[in-house]
Every structure is written in structure tokens, then in C-alpha cells.
Amino acid sequence: MALSRQHGAEHPFWALGPFKIRLPFIHYRWEFPEMVQGLFMFVVSLGMIPLLMKYLGMPYEAALAFCVVAGIGYLLPALMGVPLVPGWITPAIPVVLLYLQAFEPGPEAVKAMFALQLEVFVIFLILGLTGLGNKLVRIIPNSLKSGIIIGAGIAAMMGELKTGGRIDTTPVSLLIGSIVSAYILFSLSFKHVVETSRLAKIISNFGMIPGMFVAMIIGWTVGEYALPDIQWGITSPDFGLMMNYLVFDTGMPDADMFLLAIPTAIIAYVIAFGDILVGFTLCRRVDHLRPDEKIELDVTRVHLVTALRNGLHALLAPWPGLAGPLWTAAHATVAERYALGRKAMDSIYSGGGTFWITGLIAIFILPLVSVFKPVLPIALSLTLVLTAYICIMVGMEELKSSTERGVAGIVAVTLAMPDPKATVYAVAIGLVLYWLIERPNAAQRAKEDLSIIGDDTAAIEAGDRHGVAQVR
């Protein structure tokens, strides 16, 4: 029997420094709807396996062990007092892959990924402890931020559409899956159907999962993916083999590798900070509907927990998706059911906690993993295609003048170049163009520049980014 909560109070916890520990069955009840979702949506987390195999050069069994480490990291937010459902820094994945292309798959790529993830850990840790995160995002020019986001979207899309990309090998499943997912997530006509149809509302709550299932079934039907060899029992992640792909075995990166990783690490943080804003806004939207529980939104705690997750990955599972504060699709689904009342979901922590505990358990359920193993690439492809749409949409919305749009366009095109140093070039060009072209007008727009963060938050609260809340 979980500890009871007084009406209007914060959910029970054990204090541990800046963290608030909450355990299933002790502090919160088990939520069966989230358990069912976790049994299906965990496959998205396995979508990182193809990238681990391609860019870090590891075998499937070692990559599966990395997914177990990631699964442990997904448990930390609900465990330590963060009400957000965590995931990857998804829009940063194309930028990370451009960075990794400079290194040979194997020990060199592992060291490069370690350097990047360690820097992301340090950024979150320092900015969380000092409270400088808001200031860093404020001083970055709007055109540079938007250009980075748009460029990441273009890079994600081009990675799928280029010659030799998955569009060549699996065109039918990828195109139809993308269309179905986009219709469910972004279509104005489908949103109207959701208002009148209970079935459509249930489908919409699963975010990109219906489109992914359609893509998988079509892929099997037309022969683009092999039929699964369903096996029974428990999976066997190879933790011994995994050790060969850690920095303890490969050795430490050199100074040049750390320097090369800095622009990508900063870009990842800027994107992740936007995810924090989105996640907090989703919580505020439902908080007033549930007067029985007070949801605490602590920016410092989010930074510290995200730092811990990136530190865990850096040491035990270098991860091209990085450790992000929010998986928006899952969090939006949890928040929507939370809004239905305490009978539907006891606490915001019980929903997120149950979801990822189930997701971690699912990694060891061999029948589930073996069913999805042949089609893991489509889960990653749909994630990147939908992320591309979101990045371009959000990036364009942030641009307020033709000058900003011009600078952002140059930054975006530069960032999307198939060059491992594209992130460095994009940041440098963006800063130069800002000072040469935009800066003379900055004095005239001083009030607008100072209110950028406030405008962003207001836009989120007004629902301008509702589409974002359905994808990552």
C-alpha cells in the first residue's frame, strides 16, 4: 500500500540532499495503463541499437547491454523527484552523427562519444548548480539558436533521403509510416476527429507508435524487412562484450577530441533546455486540473538528474542520443491521463515511474525484443523524420525578422553539410553574421531581445508548440 498524500500536498518522498526519492508501491501505486504503454513504446529506445552498431562499431549483443544502462538512467527522474518522462535529446542526434563521422567506428568513435557525453554532463552539472542555464540560452542570438534547430532538422531528413539512406532500401514502409505518423501527430483534420471520436483520442495518445506499427506491418508485408524469428525466454545482453566499448578499455580521448566536441555539446544543451521549457509547460497545463497534488518544478533538480544520466552514459554506455530531460510523446501521454483525475492516475510520478520501470523490464522479455529486432531501423527512421518536421517548424516560428531568417538559413545549411566539422563552421558563421548583419539593429530591438525567453515560454503555454508535445 503506497503512502497516502494529503489533498493539495506534494506527493510523499524521502529527502536526499537536492533530490526527493520516490519508490513504486512504497510512495506511489502501480499504474496499469502506463505499464501497457511501456511494453510497446520501449521499442523506440531500442531504435538506438542501429546507430550504436554503425557509428561505434559494436555488435548487437553489446548494443543491447547499452540499452539496459540507458533503461536504468530512464528510471532516475521519477526516482529522484523530477516529474518529466525522460528520453533522448532527439533533435541533436543528426548533429551528433555528423560529429561522429570524423572518427573510425570502434575505439576512436567510442572515445569521441565519451568526450562529447562527458562535456554534456559537465554543462548540465555546472549550469544546474549555478543557475546560469537561463543566462546562457538568453545570450545566444535567436538566429543562431533557430538556425541550429532548423539545420538539425534538415540533417535528420537528408540522412534518411540521401542516396544509400533508408529511403533506398525501405521506401514503402518509411514513406507510409511517415505519412500516417504525421497525420496523427500534426493534422488539423485529425485533431477535429479526436474531439468527437474516443477511438481517435486513444490512437492520438500513443503519439508516433501507431505510425510505427503501420510501417512495421507494411515492411513485413512487402518484404522490406525480414519476418521476425520469435524466440521465448529472457534476453542475454552481453555486458562482458560491452566493456570493450567503454573508455576504460579504449583509453582516454586526447585534448583535440575534447575541443572538437565542444560546439556539439553546447548545441545539445541549448536544444535540451528547450525541452525543459516544454516539459514544465505540459506539467503546468494539467497541474491546475489536479488540486489534489502539488507538482514541484525545480530547474536545478532537472539539470542535476540529467547530468547524472549523461555521466552514467559517458562511463558505462556512450550514447549517440545523449540523455535528454524529456521524451515529449510519452510525457504528453502521461500528462493527459493524469489530467483525468486521481482515480485515473494517483500521481504524476506514478505514471512516469511505472512507464519506464516497465520499459526496462521489457528489454529482458525475449519474445517482445525478437519481434521488433528486424524492424528497429524503422523506429529510428520515423523518429528522425518526425524530429526533422518539428525542428523546422519550431525553428521557423522563432524567427521574428527577415534578417534573422537570412542568418538562420545560412547557419542551417552550413550545419546540414556532410562534414564532421559542420557544427563548428555553423556556430562560427552564425556568430560572425550576427555581429556583421544583425548587431547594428540590436539597439533598436533591445526590449525584444531581452524578452526572447519570456516570449518563448508564453508561446509554449499558448499551445503554439502543441506538435512538439507529440513526438520526442
For residue 130, the model assigns a pLDDT of: 87
Q: Which of 153-167, 265-279, 323-337, 398-412 has the lowest mean pLDDT?
A: 153-167
Question: Between the ranges 313-327, 392-406, 457-471, where is the mean pLDDT highest?
Answer: 313-327
CA distance 178 to 103: 31
Q: Among 275, 270, 301, 312, which Cα is nearest to 117's?
A: 312
Q: Mean pLDDT, the chain, as a whole number?
A: 85
Section 398-402 average pLDDT: 85
Find the farthest-apart pair of alpha carbons in the chain and give their distance in angstroms, rounded: 67
Task: Inform me whether the pLDDT recorded for 449 exceeds 60.
Answer: no
The amino acid at 372:
F
Question: Between the ranges 205-219, 315-329, 406-420, where is the mean pLDDT highest?
Answer: 315-329
Q: Are 42 and 363 in contact (CB under 8 A)?
A: yes
Section 201-212 average pLDDT: 78
CA distance 203 to 201: 5
Q: Give the HSE-up count for residue 395: Cα atoms under 13 Å, Cβ half-sphere.
A: 29
Report the alpha-carbon angle 70-75-77, nearest 5. Answer: 115
Q: Which of 17-31, 92-106, 277-291, 431-445 has the lowest mean pLDDT?
A: 431-445
Q: What is the per-residue pLDDT across 59-87, written as a single tens digit (0 to 9) for each?
A: 999 999 999 999 999 999 999 999 999 99
Please list the residues that pair with 73 across neighbouring strands: none
Q: Count of residues for the chain?
A: 472
Higher-confidence residue: 91 or 34? 34
For residue 324, the model assigns a pLDDT of: 94
DSSP structural state of residue 6: -
CA distance 85 to 209: 16
Which is it for the CA torsion 301, 304, 308, 309, positive or negative? Answer: positive
3-state secondary structure (DSSP) of residue 75:
helix
Higher-confidence residue: 284 or 307? 307
For residue 5, the model assigns a pLDDT of: 84
For residue 255, the model assigns a pLDDT of: 94
Higher-confidence residue: 99 or 424? 99
Task: Inform me whether the pLDDT recorded for 151 exceeds 80.
Answer: yes
Residues 6+ apart with CB under 8 A from 115: 253, 257, 258, 260, 261
- The end-to-end CA distance of the chain, in Å, is 33
Task: Inform me whether the pLDDT recorded for 467 exceeds 50.
Answer: no
Question: Between the ranges 190-199, 298-307, 415-424, where is the mean pLDDT highest?
Answer: 298-307
Which is it for the CA torsion 346, 362, 175, 223, positive or negative? Answer: negative
Task: Inform me whether the pLDDT recorded for 466 exceeds 50.
Answer: no
CA distance 321 to 313: 10
For residue 445, the model assigns a pLDDT of: 53
Q: Are 147 and 410 in contact (CB under 8 A)?
A: yes
CA distance 281 to 33: 23
Task: Inform me whether the pLDDT recorded for 1 exceeds 50.
Answer: yes
Please list the residues that pair with 15 across neighbouring strands: 20
For residue 201, the model assigns a pLDDT of: 80
CA distance 348 to 338: 6
Q: Is 297 exposed, middle or buried (0-12, 13-18, 19+ CB in 10 A)?
A: middle
23: pLDDT confidence band, cut at 50, 70 and 90?
A: very high
CA distance 391 to 458: 19
Enumerate the H helices of 299-443 as residue ranges. Answer: 299-316, 328-338, 348-362, 366-372, 376-398, 402-415, 422-433, 439-442
**Which pTM does this prediction carry?**
0.80
CA distance 363 to 392: 33
Cell of 468: 512538439
3-state secondary structure (DSSP) of residue 237:
coil
Task: Inform me whether the pLDDT recorded for 302 exceeds 90.
Answer: yes
CA distances from residue 342 to 26, 286, 345 in whole angstroms, order as listed: 17, 12, 5
For residue 88, the model assigns a pLDDT of: 92
For residue 440, the model assigns a pLDDT of: 63
Q: Name the one residue in this structure whose C-alpha cell is 541533436.
A: 92
Q: What is the per-residue pLDDT across 98-141, written as a single tens digit (0 to 9) for each?
A: 899 889 999 999 999 999 999 999 999 999 888 786 677 677 78
Cell of 172: 514503402
208: pLDDT confidence band, cut at 50, 70 and 90?
A: confident
